[in-house]
Amino acid sequence: MTVLHVVLPGDVDDPATPSGGNRYDRRVCDGLRAAGWDVREHPVPGGWPAPGHGDRAALAALLDALPDAALVLLDGLVASAVPEVLAPRAGRLRPVVLVHLPLETEAEARALAAVAGVVTTSEWTRRRLLERYPLPADRVRVAAPGTDPAPRAAGSATGTSLLCVAALTPHKGHDVLATALAELAALPWTCDLVGALTRDPAYVDRLRRQLADAGLAARVRLRGPRTGAALDAAYAGADLLVLPSRGETYGMVVTEALARGVPVLGTDAGGLPEALGHAPDGRRPGLLVPPGDPTALAGALRRWLTEPDLRSRLRAAARARRDTLTDWAVTTTRLAAAVKETTAT
């Protein structure tokens, strides 16, 4: 039985702060166990990726306690911030870093250069790392997120139920969405914002004021974080997922929506187009606009709300794309192969 030590952010299972990275980590840890691996989890509290001195010391002590040649998978949120902890111990251990979101810092460059292998969660992230850092290409592998089968959302005739699933932070572009929706106040629609409200309270306060000033407070509902059945219900009631991110390495919520046949309006940013993908006949199951452009976003939303033929085409493409999605077993298999192969020599 292969023993794998997995170093995770301390909030990996905190339902108050769900994230794509945390969900990915949980699913692959559980998947590796189901595949027969002896997975030993080590959540490390701290302000990652900006740890304090005590956080660094605790991580160093954890790594020092592992046996020689131990196979270690470290979440990049932790590993990429502390090359001075990771590099001196990389020769004794067999470390692999799982990069969800590149930090693009000198510290990350040194951390990734020190380890046996790197696994990314999208092809876009792999390309970005290879462009940014002088890493051996055969040591950087991809294990994209999977999706769970889900019932197809019914969708309404008018398409007026909009959904955004993302933690409320500036990076996710809710302010851009609010500006776009203000341009469409004369049209019928509602929009639910599902995501953690605690990561940047000042930003959330500014967003609430922006919505109130635009007269949209009753139509744009800040629902807070949702997981499990509550998140399933949010998707089931949605006509369109809107993800106005300023950047995404992949966007797991995109494939979660597509698994239900819900089209997506997103930004042409990072790995988001990769997650959106194409139906088997080449059609996009949604629309893409430039990030940070409320006018373009408003135009796309207007088309969705006022063009029934467009809604029908995008829904058909989303339902066809639904059948092409891979599950978490595929993700786990790819991750396992990457870990074994990059640490074999």
* Domain assignment of residue 156, yes or no: no
DSSP state letter for 166? S
| Sign of the CA dihedral with 175 first, then 181, 182, and 188 last | negative
Q: Are residues 304 and 251 in the same domain?
A: yes
Distance CA(105)–CA(122), nearest Å, equals 19
Report pLDDT for 15.
77
* Domain assignment of residue 154, yes or no: no
* Domain assignment of residue 313, yes or no: yes
Task: Quote the mean pLDDT of the chain.
Answer: 96
The residues facing 39 across adjacent strands are 4
Helix/strand/coil for 195: coil
Q: Are residues 293 and 267 in the same domain?
A: yes
Q: Are residues 262 and 331 in the same domain?
A: no
Report pLDDT for 21.
87
Distance CA(221)–CA(205), nearest Å, equals 14
Q: Are residues 119 and 266 in the same domain?
A: no
Lowest mean pLDDT among 8-12, 85-89, 321-325, 338-342: 8-12
Tokens of 45: 């509290």
* Domain assignment of residue 228, yes or no: yes
- Classify residue 7 as left (phi > 0), alpha (psi -120 to 50) or beta: beta
If we measure between CA atoms, which residue out of 320, 23, 29 comes closest to residue 147?
23
Report pLDDT for 337.
96
Q: Are residues 253 and 280 in the same domain?
A: yes
Q: What's the average model confidence in pLDDT over 107-124?
A: 97
Q: Are residues 120 and 26 in the same domain?
A: yes
Banded pLDDT at 18 (limits 50, 70, 90) = confident
Residue type present at position 197: L
If we measure between CA atoms, which residue out of 274, 270, 298, 299 comes closest to residue 285?
274
Distance CA(261)–CA(247), nearest Å, equals 23
Residue type present at position 236: A
DSSP 289-302: E-TT-HHHHHHHHH
| CATH number of domain containing 64 | 3.40.50.2000
Report pLDDT for 124.
97
Q: Which residue has the tokens 């197809």?
A: 152
Report pLDDT for 13.
79
pLDDT(94) > 70: yes
Q: Are residues 183 and 261 in the same domain?
A: yes
Q: Are residues 86 and 201 in the same domain?
A: no
* Domain assignment of residue 167, yes or no: yes
The dihedrals phi and psi of 243, each to the nearest 5 degrees, come to -130, 95
pTM higher than 0.85: yes
CB 174 within 8 A of CB 244: yes
Tokens of 255: 């494939």
CA 131 to chain centre: 21
Burial class (CB in 10 A: 0-12, 13-18, 19+), 151: exposed
pLDDT in tens, 21-66: 889 999 999 999 999 999 999 999 988 899 999 999 999 999 999 9
pLDDT in tens, 140-150: 999 999 999 99
DSSP strands (E only) in the chain: 3-9, 38-44, 71-75, 94-99, 117-120, 140-142, 161-165, 190-194, 220-224, 240-243, 264-267, 286-289
Q: Are residues 249 and 117 in the same domain?
A: no
Report pLDDT for 1.
79
What's the domain range around 176?
Answer: 161-322
DSSP state letter for 170? G
pLDDT(16) > 80: no
* Domain assignment of residue 151, yes or no: no
Burial class (CB in 10 A: 0-12, 13-18, 19+), 229: exposed
SS3 content of the chain, % helix, strand, coil (to 5): 45, 15, 40
Helix/strand/coil for 23: helix
Q: What's the average model confidence in pLDDT over 110-127?
A: 97
pLDDT(160) > 90: yes
Distance CA(121)–CA(73), nearest Å, equals 14
Q: Are residues 8 and 122 in the same domain?
A: yes
Tokens of 14: 């905190």
Banded pLDDT at 88 (limits 50, 70, 90) = very high
Q: Are residues 204 and 262 in the same domain?
A: yes
Q: Are residues 334 and 299 in the same domain?
A: no
Helix/strand/coil for 113: helix
* Domain assignment of residue 155, yes or no: no
Residue type present at position 80: S
pLDDT in tens, 226-269: 989 999 999 999 999 999 999 999 999 999 999 999 999 999 99
Report pLDDT for 345.
63
* Domain assignment of residue 258, yes or no: yes
Structural domain count, the chain:
2
Report pLDDT for 180.
98
Banded pLDDT at 293 (limits 50, 70, 90) = very high
